[in-house]
């Protein structure tokens, strides 16, 4: 009897050990909603990474980019996330203050950004320029500047800068272009704002539904309609003040219990398997372009606005305060 019990116990231990050895590791990646959606790059990235990693890649959609960072800050070192995809250059000061992220250790020689990038914590995976997108069947005279946008009185939809990276980007765009006069511009634009949404997906959906003349999006957004839908009625207004550049970033959590797998995923983000699908799934410029851009992809604006992390840290709160004051009147 004792021998049989001993044998049974040994079998249980052996079975448990074998099960532990064959458990498929999981990599948890926090990202923004549209990235993880069925029409975003998430499914293709999941398929290509899982084909080589012997792991399960789980995307967790956590709102827009700034919301993702807020969630990580709340969770702290207890977060189940190993990697975050969807921070951007405007969020770096807040991300640095959180102390949540580890150096990525990736070779950045393949980057094809229009600016130099040497940050060793935040890894670019795509980039673009903010713009107001409009329907040419509704807007006969597209504005060519923020001043003209105010004068023409078109209805617009924007995103909340406290939860959305495009929303914050718009505030910094106006602050960069107008400096101390940005508050006065917001006073003029406030009455044209139909609604302020938590993120980009909600805003763009309302625009497509005809709820406003224009929406804050990207210079590359009309390419989606032209390539996928054969619809040439969407266009991006080109502003004389220039267009603010957004660089979207991935970062590895210092608390990850899968650091090697996380590093492999970070490297995968710069591979052709990911970069080649970015233009026609995320509708942005790839950070490490290795293939021609699709026909109909928007050209970069002549004047680009890009400011260092220090400038963003110094001006972000003032820009938010000016925006809030204008909308409260």
pLDDT in tens, 94-144: 999 999 999 999 999 999 999 999 999 999 999 999 999 999 999 999 999
pLDDT in tens, 201-225: 999 999 999 999 999 999 999 999 9
| CATH of region 25-126+246-286, choose from 3.40.50.2300, 3.40.190.10, 3.30.420.40, 3.90.1170.50 | 3.40.190.10
Closest CA to 319 of 162, 189, 171, 170: 171
221 burial type by CB count under 10 A (0-12 exposed, 13-18 middle, 19+ buried)? buried
Q: How far apart are the first and last CA of the chain?
A: 84
> Rounded to an integer, what distance in angstroms lies between the CA atom of residue 81 and that of residue 8?
38
Structural contact between residues 307 and 247, judged by C-beta atoms closer than 8 angstroms:
no
Same fold flag, 25-126+246-286 and 129-244+299-328 = yes
Task: Name the CATH superfamily, with its identifier, for domain 129-244+299-328.
Answer: Periplasmic binding protein-like II (3.40.190.10)
Residue 86 host element (H or E)? strand 83-88
198: DSSP letter: S
> Rounded to an integer, what distance in angstroms lies between the CA atom of residue 289 and that of residue 278?
10
Structural contact between residues 107 and 128, judged by C-beta atoms closer than 8 angstroms:
no
pLDDT in tens, 186-197: 999 999 999 999
Around Cβ 217, how many Cβ atoms within 10 Å? 25
b/e per residue, 1-38, with b = 16+ CB within 10 A? eeeeeeeeeeeeeeeeeeeeeeeeeebbbbbbbbbbbe
> What's the pTM?
0.90
124 burial type by CB count under 10 A (0-12 exposed, 13-18 middle, 19+ buried)? buried
pLDDT in tens, 156-185: 999 999 999 999 999 999 999 999 999 999
pLDDT in tens, 48-107: 999 999 999 999 999 888 999 999 999 999 999 999 999 999 999 999 999 999 999 999
Measured over the CA atoms of residue 272, residue 278, residue 280 and residue 281, the dihedral's sign is: positive
> Rounded to an integer, what distance in angstroms lies between the CA atom of residue 324 and that of residue 26?
41
Domain range annotation of the chain: 25-126+246-286, 129-244+299-328
pLDDT at 9 over 50: no
List CB contacts of 68: < 8 A, sequence separation 6 or more: 30, 31, 32, 62, 84, 86, 87
């Amino acid at each position: 009897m004792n021998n049989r019990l001993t044998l049974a116990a040994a079998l249980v231990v052996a079975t448990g050990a074998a099960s532990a050895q064959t458990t498929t590791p999981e990599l948890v990646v926090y990202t923004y909603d549209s990235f993880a959606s069925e029409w975003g790059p998430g499914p293709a990235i999941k398929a290509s990474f899982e084909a080589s990693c012997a792991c399960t890649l789980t995307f967790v959609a956590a709102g827009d980019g700034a919301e993702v960072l807020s969630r990580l800050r709340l969770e702290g070192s207890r977060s189940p996330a190993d990697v975050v995809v969807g921070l951007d250059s405007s969020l770096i000061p807040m991300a640095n203050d959180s102390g949540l992220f580890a150096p990525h250790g990736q070779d950045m020689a393949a980057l094809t950004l229009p600016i130099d990038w040497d940050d060793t914590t935040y890894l670019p995976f795509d980039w673009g320029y903010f713009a107001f997108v409009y329907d040419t069947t509704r807007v006969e005279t597209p504005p060519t500047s923020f001043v003209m946008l105010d004068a023409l009185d078109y209805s617009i939809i924007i995103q909340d800068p406290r939860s959305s990276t495009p929303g914050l980007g718009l505030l910094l765009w106006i602050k960069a272009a107008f400096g101390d006069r940005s508050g006065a511009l917001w006073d003029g634009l406030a009455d044209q704002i139909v609604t302020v949404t938590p993120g980009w997906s909600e805003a763009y959906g309302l625009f497509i539904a005809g709820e406003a003349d224009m929406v804050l999006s990207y210079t590359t957004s009309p390419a989606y309609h032209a390539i996928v839908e054969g619809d040439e009625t969407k266009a991006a207004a080109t502003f004389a003040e220039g267009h603010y550049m957004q660089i979207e970033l991935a970062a590895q959590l210092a608390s990850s219990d899968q650091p090697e797998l996380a590093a492999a995923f970070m490297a995968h983000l710069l591979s052709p398997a990911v970069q080649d699908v970015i233009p026609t799934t995320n509708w942005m410029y790839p950070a490490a372009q290795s293939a021609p851009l699709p026909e109909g992809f928007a050209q970069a604006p002549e004047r680009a606005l890009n400011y260092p992390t220090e400038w963003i840290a110094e001006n972000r709160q003032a820009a938010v305060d000016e925006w809030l004051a204008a909308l409260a009147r």
